Chain A
Amino acid sequence: MSNPNGRLVLPKPLRQQGAELDDRLHAARGVRTLLRKIFPDHWSFLLGEVALYSFIILILTGIFLTLFFQPSMTEVVYHGSYTKLDGVRMSQAYASTLNISFDVRGGLLMRQIHHWAADIFLAAIFCHMLRLFFTGAYRKPRDTNWLIGIAMLTLGIIEGFLGYSMPDDLLSGTGVRIAEGVLLGIPVVGTYLSFFLFGGQFPGTEFVARFYIIHVLLVPGLLLALVSAHLFLMIHQKHTQMPGKGRTEGNVVGQPMYPYFMVKTGAFFFFVFGALALLATFAQINPIWQYGPYTPLAISAGSQPDFYMGWLEGSLRMFPSWTWDIAGHTVAWNVLVPALVVPGVLFTALGLWPQIERWATGDKGYHHVNDRPRNAPTRTAFGMAGVTFYGILWLEGANDLIAVHFNIDLYLTTEIARYAIFIGPVVAFWVTRRICLGLQRKDAQMLAHGVETGIIRQLPNGAFVEAERPVTEDEAAVLIARPPAPQLPAASAVDSNGIPVPEMRGLRGRVRSRVNAMFAEGISLAPPDGHGNGHGEGEERAEGEHVAVGAGSSGEPGPGGGGRPAAVEDESGTHGGGV
């Protein structure tokens, strides 16, 4: 596609078409910029794409399902292909779900892809969010997009719950019943909300149709709008990038959208679709014919919601039976706190986190280069505390299965969870912080001494030394990429006139100063002095002397003095668990 002069030109027909379009749209410049948009490369950047593509697949398979699903609770007697339920009274919703599974070719496949895609959609959002959190990618200017993401996560959970409630099978009906019980627990308006949602007493004859229209129109519409805003902001603000050679706050390094990213992401879309098709083929999900139609009389033991509701289920299981009966009214703390207050607080804290961190660090600047999680030990520690809190709730949501499979007393699992929910996050916070500081020490040591190769050499005098090689430029660029330690004036600080610094005065100032000191702690990368010949002496304790503990530290003894980490750890090691 180039003419003899070496100029790159389009074939004539395409060129004419393009000109016609540009005559009307004035798009040449903008689209050219878009084609050359740079996408930095890191495996963790794919997590958001998994969510996006799952969402697209949800829409595609969902449209197919709406062609056959009947969102009606009219009672019918089943006489379809699945003879085991022949003659059973059930709602039309359940009967049509059986029909999709057993009488429509590919219906079961589409149902299972749809259900798996919903689980993967939310799992991907969770992981994407953890990635953003642990690398600090939510910082200015992307804090707006962070909030949009939290809104999408919330909507995604609601959407998933509505979706699996619609078949009106025994399992989903139990979930709806629990949701009704939670609604009833809301003070003052709870009973009214429940009666309005269900069109009267539970279960009524309305909720499937109402859930349906919310599930296929309202929430997907909102999600679509938010996804568009999310992507627009992402393009407008450009991607963050992981630290590396040549990557600065002032540039983006990577491959252009056209042709590289288009093909890459096309491949990725097909990987996601292919993986979902594989799951739907070989991993059965939500076999509603085994559960039977919903009846308030029955339930099956070991009932489990989809994974993203598990933490709320665990929260309900764990909380004690506190209620108040006062002045003729019942306040159901046992429902209100675990099902509404806990998620409310958690999501609010997530939403406010960028602000909280700005307050703590005093860092109001732009950040386009991500942190390695170890380089923000306190943030990473808060993140892991949150992950642990969520994880304990989630495990408690399956405590009956844990009790059965591990042969533990059922009540003991709950008792343990009741303690662990307080102790676990604190331990996780402390351990994570120590690991991060240890990894920082490791980085400092690697810069100073080089990389351990694992090759042992014997010296002429019989001594053994480990060969080390110096870090490469590429490696060094990653290792030295540390954000400047955020620092606010100490609580006792005074300005040049001897007046205490205003924002650091009083109790709030002292708290802020302490928190800031915690955020600022880190291991200095300052090159060692006087240890130039230390290489290969096997004297690991020497490394403790290289480190200078950052401002505000209470001088904790470094665990690094006791020996080096067993292995070079990947930063992804701190991402573990959570979903």
Chain B
Amino acid sequence: MSGNDNDKDQENTPTEPTAPRRVIGTPPPSRGLLADLGRAGGGDGGTGTAPYSPGEAEAPELDELPANPPSLLRAKQFERLAAAMFLLSMIASIAFWAAYIGLEVQGPGNALDRTLRSNLALGGSLSVVFLALAVGFTIWVRHIMPPAELVEERHPMASPPEDRKAFEETFVQGAETSQITKRPLLRRTLIAAAVPAAVAPIVLLRDMGPLPGTSLRHTVWRKGTRLLLGDSNRPITAAEFSTNGGMITVVPEGYEDNQDELAKATAIIIKFAPGELQIPTRYNDGVNGPRTLLNSMNWTVDNIVAYSKICTHVGCPAALYEQTTHRILCPCHQSTFQADRGAQVIFGPAPRPLPQLPITTDSKGYLVAASDFQEPVGPSFWERG
């Protein structure tokens, strides 16, 4: 269309600088039947209200579509172009089959390379199959079919009053005949029967899972459970930490592959330089139960402290640790915990510190838990209290 505009400009003002002929947001110069219609009808421009007065379309409904495009020669040229597109699509389809047969994904060598090669060949040919068809169709409808626009009358959405009246009568008559409006006993007992029946399917869902009980309050850590390294499942001694350093993921011995338990019990240990680790002694408020210790320096071994790895926000693993600032960061929503101060929250949506796991060493020098966590780990839940 812009091509047409330019042509026109050049005809009109061959030596003048060209200016935009079309105001953006308004239609391009009309072509086809509607333009003629508009001219014939005198147009409605200027009245200001015509486009919003229903039923004032001055153009009669045109039912005829043109049989031939304005220029048969141009149509012929575009027909060739569209045909070329369809042929290209056909060739691409054949290429798709060839790629499917010729490029095996299984076999020796690098699986990823083979897969990506196959993906490139199959996807590339499939793209051409569809895009060539799309372009061919577009040429067909835009340049081979004669341009045409039709006008269709709208009919009111609302039914005529007599139809509504007839409906109303039929409906009320039916209700009367059914007696349901006249017999409250029938009606009320039916409702009484329907409500519990409707709830029945919900009852059926009960066995989708066990009741939570207190399972979210406890983990599998017990006094003497050894801390295993999360990646190698090997127990660790306090002496192995010759230097203070990063954060290490630990799991309870005996539950290394138990995903359900690990989703609660996974912990992290961090070793600090002497004097750096200062865990405040912290109790719970004791309002809803016995006053219990939640953080204590006594629960550390040789400046090694263990915290739950499960974020108290929505349960992602708090997996990032910045050694210089001693901050633990949960990558999901950026709750930040101060590791050398009892994992207190210093930023983000987490409402509580990461619970501290009391640790000690056993007779062989391995790090072991001194008890379970003293508060529920992970996200808030209603019964947490």
Binding site for B on A (CB under 8 A): 36-38, 75, 80-83, 89, 101-109, 112, 141, 174, 177-178, 180-182, 184-192, 194-204, 206, 237-238, 243-256, 259-260, 263-264, 266-271, 273-275, 277-278, 280-282, 289, 295-303, 313, 316-323, 325, 327-332, 334-335, 338, 366, 368-369, 372, 399-400, 410-411, 414, 446, 451, 453-455, 467, 471-484, 525, 568-571
- With beta carbons under 8 angstroms apart, the residue of A266, A282, A301, A480 that contacts B51 is A480
**Taking CB as reference atom, which chain B residue is nearest A38?**
B152
**Taking CB as reference atom, which chain B residue is nearest A525?**
B48
**Taking CB as reference atom, which chain B residue is nearest A267?**
B137
Say yes or no for B57: interface residue by CB 8 A criterion: yes
B347 A411 Cβ-Cβ under 8 A? yes
Looking at A198, A250, A328, A410, which has the most chain B CB atoms within 10 Å of its CB?
A250
A197 B209 Cβ-Cβ under 8 A? yes
Say yes or no for B369: interface residue by CB 8 A criterion: no
In the assembled complex, the CB of B360 is this many whole angstroms from the nearest CB of chain A, namely 23
Q: Enumerate the 3 nearest inter-chain pairs by beta-carbon distance, A residue then B residue, closest first.
A: A181-B314, A281-B123, A267-B137
A274 B134 Cβ-Cβ under 8 A? yes
In the assembled complex, the CB of A384 is this many whole angstroms from the nearest CB of chain B, namely 18
A264 B137 Cβ-Cβ under 8 A? yes
- With beta carbons under 8 angstroms apart, the residue of A238, A248, A472 that contacts B54 is A248
Compute how far the CA of A502 lies from the CA of B53 in the bound complex, rounded to whole angstroms.
29
In the assembled complex, the CB of A32 is this many whole angstroms from the nearest CB of chain B, namely 11
The stretch among B162-170, B235-243, B261-269, B295-303 that forms the contact with chain A is B261-269
**Taking CB as reference atom, which chain B residue is nearest A236?**
B157
A89 B257 Cβ-Cβ under 8 A? yes
From 321 to 367 in chain B, residues with beta carbon under 8 angstroms from any chain A beta carbon are 331-336, 345, 347-352
Say yes or no for B23: interface residue by CB 8 A criterion: yes
B385 A250 Cβ-Cβ under 8 A? no
Chain A facing B: main interface SS? mixed
Say yes or no for B176: interface residue by CB 8 A criterion: no
Compute how far the CA of A328 lies from the CA of B383 in the bound complex, rounded to whole angstroms.
7
In the assembled complex, the CB of B31 is this many whole angstroms from the nearest CB of chain A, namely 11
Compute how far the CA of A474 lies from the CA of B34 in the bound complex, rounded to whole angstroms.
11
**Taking CB as reference atom, which chain B residue is nearest A323?**
B351
Q: A274-B130, A330-B382, A330-B385 are in contact. Are A366 and B52 (CB under 8 A)?
A: no
Residues of B within 8 A of A478 (CB): 25-27
Compute how far the CA of A190 lies from the CA of B384 in the bound complex, rounded to whole angstroms.
11
In the assembled complex, the CB of B11 is this many whole angstroms from the nearest CB of chain A, namely 15
B127 A277 Cβ-Cβ under 8 A? yes
B44 A255 Cβ-Cβ under 8 A? no
Compute how far the CA of A130 lies from the CA of B140 in the bound complex, rounded to whole angstroms.
31
Say yes or no for B104: interface residue by CB 8 A criterion: yes
Q: What 0/1 readout, one digit per residue, does chain B (46-80) give for beta carbons within 8 Å of chain A?
A: 11111111111101000101000000000000000
A191 B382 Cβ-Cβ under 8 A? yes
Say yes or no for B126: interface residue by CB 8 A criterion: yes
- With beta carbons under 8 angstroms apart, the residue of B30, B124, B150, B381 that contacts A190 is B381
In the assembled complex, the CB of B29 is this many whole angstroms from the nearest CB of chain A, namely 7
Residues of A within 8 A of B57 (CB): 246, 248, 250-251
From 1 to 46 in chain B, residues with beta carbon under 8 angstroms from any chain A beta carbon are 16-17, 19-20, 23-27, 29-30, 34, 37-38, 41, 43-46
Residues of A within 8 A of B17 (CB): 454-455
The stretch among B112-120, B181-189, B191-199, B275-283 that forms the contact with chain A is B112-120
Residues of B within 8 A of A177 (CB): 263, 314-316
Size of the chain B interface, CB-CB below 8 angstroms? 124
Compute how far the CA of A328 lies from the CA of B30 in the bound complex, rounded to whole angstroms.
73
Say yes or no for B232: interface residue by CB 8 A criterion: no
Residues of B within 8 A of A200 (CB): 209-210, 260
In the assembled complex, the CB of A91 is this many whole angstroms from the nearest CB of chain B, namely 9
Compute how far the CA of A264 lies from the CA of B137 in the bound complex, rounded to whole angstroms.
7
- With beta carbons under 8 angstroms apart, the residue of B115, B145, B334, B345 that contacts A399 is B334
B130 A480 Cβ-Cβ under 8 A? no
Residues of A within 8 A of B320 (CB): 301
- With beta carbons under 8 angstroms apart, the residue of B59, B131, B209 that contacts A271 is B131
Q: A89-B257, A178-B314, A188-B382 are in contact. Are A82 and B111 (CB under 8 A)?
A: yes
Q: List 6 A-B contacts (CB under 8 A).
A: A102-B105, A253-B151, A271-B134, A281-B127, A301-B319, A316-B349
Q: A300-B331, A328-B288 are in contact. Are A251 and B216 (CB under 8 A)?
A: no
**Taking CB as reference atom, which chain B residue is nearest A189?**
B382
- With beta carbons under 8 angstroms apart, the residue of B44, B52, B212, B349 that contacts A484 is B52
**Taking CB as reference atom, which chain B residue is nearest A140?**
B157
Compute how far the CA of A222 lies from the CA of B120 in the bound complex, rounded to whole angstroms.
35
B380 A296 Cβ-Cβ under 8 A? no
Residues of B within 8 A of A181 (CB): 313-316, 378-379
Known: A178-B332, A525-B48. 4 other contacts (CB 8 A): A203-B259, A251-B151, A317-B349, A475-B23
Say yes or no for B225: interface residue by CB 8 A criterion: no
- With beta carbons under 8 angstroms apart, the residue of B249, B335, B348 that contacts A297 is B249
Q: A191-B216, A192-B212, A249-B53 are in contact. Are A105 and B127 (CB under 8 A)?
A: no
Looking at A296, A301, A302, A325, which has the most chain B CB atoms within 10 Å of its CB?
A296
- With beta carbons under 8 angstroms apart, the residue of A81, A453, A454 that contacts B106 is A81
Say yes or no for B154: interface residue by CB 8 A criterion: yes
Say yes or no for B208: interface residue by CB 8 A criterion: yes
Residues of B within 8 A of A338 (CB): 349
Compute how far the CA of A245 lies from the CA of B206 in the bound complex, rounded to whole angstroms.
62
From 190 to 248 in chain B, residues with beta carbon under 8 angstroms from any chain A beta carbon are 205-206, 208-212, 215-216, 230
Q: A178-B315, A474-B26 are in contact. Are A319 and B130 (CB under 8 A)?
A: no
In the assembled complex, the CB of B231 is this many whole angstroms from the nearest CB of chain A, namely 9
Residues of B within 8 A of A112 (CB): 119, 123
B52 A201 Cβ-Cβ under 8 A? no
A105 B51 Cβ-Cβ under 8 A? no
Residues of B within 8 A of A103 (CB): 105-106
In the assembled complex, the CB of A9 is this many whole angstroms from the nearest CB of chain B, namely 14
Residues of A within 8 A of B112 (CB): 82, 102, 289
In the assembled complex, the CB of A270 is this many whole angstroms from the nearest CB of chain B, namely 4
Residues of B within 8 A of A281 (CB): 119-120, 122-124, 126-127
Residues of B within 8 A of A194 (CB): 212, 381
Say yes or no for B133: interface residue by CB 8 A criterion: yes
B150 A36 Cβ-Cβ under 8 A? yes
Say yes or no for B171: interface residue by CB 8 A criterion: no
In the assembled complex, the CB of A450 is this many whole angstroms from the nearest CB of chain B, namely 10
Q: A195-B212, A299-B331, A321-B350 are in contact. Are A253 and B34 (CB under 8 A)?
A: yes
Residues of B within 8 A of A270 (CB): 130-131, 133-134, 137
Say yes or no for B309: interface residue by CB 8 A criterion: yes
A481 B51 Cβ-Cβ under 8 A? yes
B333 A263 Cβ-Cβ under 8 A? no
Residues of A within 8 A of B331 (CB): 299-303, 400
Compute how far the CA of A479 lies from the CA of B25 in the bound complex, rounded to whole angstroms.
9
Say yes or no for B148: interface residue by CB 8 A criterion: yes
Say yes or no for B88: interface residue by CB 8 A criterion: no
A453 B379 Cβ-Cβ under 8 A? no
Compute how far the CA of A313 lies from the CA of B332 in the bound complex, rounded to whole angstroms.
8
A320 B349 Cβ-Cβ under 8 A? yes
A196 B315 Cβ-Cβ under 8 A? no
In the assembled complex, the CB of A35 is this many whole angstroms from the nearest CB of chain B, namely 11
A198 B209 Cβ-Cβ under 8 A? yes
In the assembled complex, the CB of A445 is this many whole angstroms from the nearest CB of chain B, namely 12
**Taking CB as reference atom, which chain B residue is nearest A474?**
B27
Compute how far the CA of A267 lies from the CA of B56 in the bound complex, rounded to whole angstroms.
35
In the assembled complex, the CB of A219 is this many whole angstroms from the nearest CB of chain B, namely 17
Residues of A within 8 A of B106 (CB): 81, 102-103
